[in-house]
Amino acid sequence: MLEKQAIRDRIREQRRNLEPSVLAYKSHCITLQALELIRRVGARNIAVFASLPGEPDTTELIREILSLNGFLFLPRVERKNLTFYRVFDPLNQLLSVPPYGIREPVPDRCEVANLQSLDLVFTPGLAFDVDGNRLGQGAGFYDRFFAAFPTPLPIRVGLAFEFQMYRTIPHRESDVAIDGIITEERFFRPRHSAIITNSPEETRRLGEQLANRLAFNTILGLQGPLGSGKTVLVQGLARGFGVAEDIVSQTFTLAKEYRTSKGALWHVDLYRLTSESEIDMGFWSEILEGPGLKAIEWSERLGDHLPLDAVIAEATVTGENRRTWSLATPLNSQWDMHDLLRDFRHIES
């Protein structure tokens, strides 16, 4: 995993290299998704940041929120904290403030926000990961703001370019994760659930259910210690695909393809992979980007090469035959785990 400063340096360089026309197009795509989210959740009191050069341009979003007759709030840095003010006339209520030239509300022209009225807070950041962790510029303004926020917290959504997304970034357990991230390509919405299986057959049945619910080209990362049931889950996937062959832990091959009437099922086992430097990305790209469902045991060994849209199933051994499966889906458009939980309610009990 890259260190925070290395990530910041990389993102700043990538943002500096964005052509103005590309930045404008990507920002427009982000704005359209942000407006769709506003409509979907029915948000009326919306906080937005005034963008810095290189950030997703929020000018259009600010204008559209006002046209929807929503209540718009923007932040102002006061000492080491953020104070949000209601803004209805950006031309007269915002001024550029040194040293960065950020447009901030002028206090004597605006009304201070009632924080508990906020429905949705669009949040800046230098980098985000698929679990909603955020890496800011380093001053900690938003971290302190959310940590001190009166409960319940509003919906918190980052606005970022796709290249600002990572599978995981350094963070502390005390950090307040956000609820989602909108990029020009998609809406990352981390969702986590746990399912308990009490026998190998129940684990196979879970795999069979996943085979029937996961989208055709899904990458399913299987994680957990030796003997936790990763291969058993793949046996269930194979049963759901109608594979007649026995599925066993692979000793000499990293990947095996099973062709069925439902499509291709790839079983990948990276146990023998000791470092990312051993990865032949030409070989892996062909598998990861090809058709079919890819079940990858020890997927964490792919590191940052594991695609951001991979679904993760991590097993924890909680008894002789009992396993707790932590399921994480990063994309808003992926299958709904809560439907699966209803199917397995008897297992959870």
User: Average pLDDT of the chain?
Assistant: 89
- Distance between CA atoms of 322 and 316, rounded to whole angstroms? 9
Q: Where are the domains of the chain?
A: 4-185, 191-348
Q: What is the pLDDT of residue 349?
A: 37
- The residue with greater pLDDT, 287 or 179, is 179
Cis peptide before 152 (omega within 30 of 0): yes
Instruction: Answer yes or no: is pLDDT of 347 > 50.
Output: no
Calculate mean pLDDT across residues 148-160.
90
Q: What is the pLDDT of residue 111?
A: 94
Return the percentage of the chain with pLDDT > 70, whole number.
92
What confidence tens digit (pLDDT) does each residue in 43-85 have? 999 999 999 999 999 999 999 999 998 899 999 998 888 999 9
Instruction: Answer yes or no: is pLDDT of 110 > 80.
Output: yes
What confidence tens digit (pLDDT) does each residue in 271-297 have? 887 666 566 677 777 888 888 999 999
Structure tokens given for 306 = 């594991």
Q: Which amino acid is at 268?
A: V
Cα angle 96-100-103, degrees, rounded to a multiple of 5: 30
Fold of the CATH domain 4-185: Rossmann fold (3.40.50)
Token look-up 């979907």 returns 40
Which region, left, alpha or beta, applies to residue 265 given φ > 0 means left and ψ of -120 to 50 means alpha? beta
- The residue with greater pLDDT, 87 or 276, is 87
Return the percentage of the chain with pLDDT > 90, whole number.
63
- Distance between CA atoms of 173 and 159, rounded to whole angstroms? 22
Q: Is residue 55 a contact partner of residue 124, using CB atoms and an 8 Å limit?
A: yes
Q: Which residues, in sequence order, are CB contacts of 40 under 8 Å at separation 6+?
A: none
Instruction: Answer yes or no: is pLDDT of 206 > 60.
Output: yes
- Beta-bridge mates of residue 118: none
Q: What is the pLDDT of residue 278?
A: 63
Residue 321 phi, psi (nearest 5): -120, 0
Calculate mean pLDDT across residues 104-108.
94
Q: What is the pLDDT of residue 189?
A: 92
Calculate mean pLDDT across residues 288-310.
90
Q: Looking at the domain that runs over 191-348, which CATH code has it been given?
A: 3.40.50.300
Question: Alpha helix locations (H) across the chain?
Answer: 4-16, 20-41, 59-67, 90-93, 141-147, 200-213, 230-241, 281-288, 337-343, 345-348
Calculate mean pLDDT across residues 88-103.
87
> What is the separation of C-alpha 327 from the centre of its chain, rounded to a whole number of angstroms?
13
**285-313: b or e for each residue (b if 16 or more CB lie within 10 Å)?**
eebbeeebbbbbbbbbbbeeebbbbbbbb
Q: Is there a common fold for 4-185 and 191-348? A: yes
Q: What is the pLDDT of residue 2?
A: 73
Q: What is the pLDDT of residue 7?
A: 92
Q: What is the pLDDT of residue 1?
A: 58
Instruction: Answer yes or no: is pLDDT of 335 > 70.
Output: no
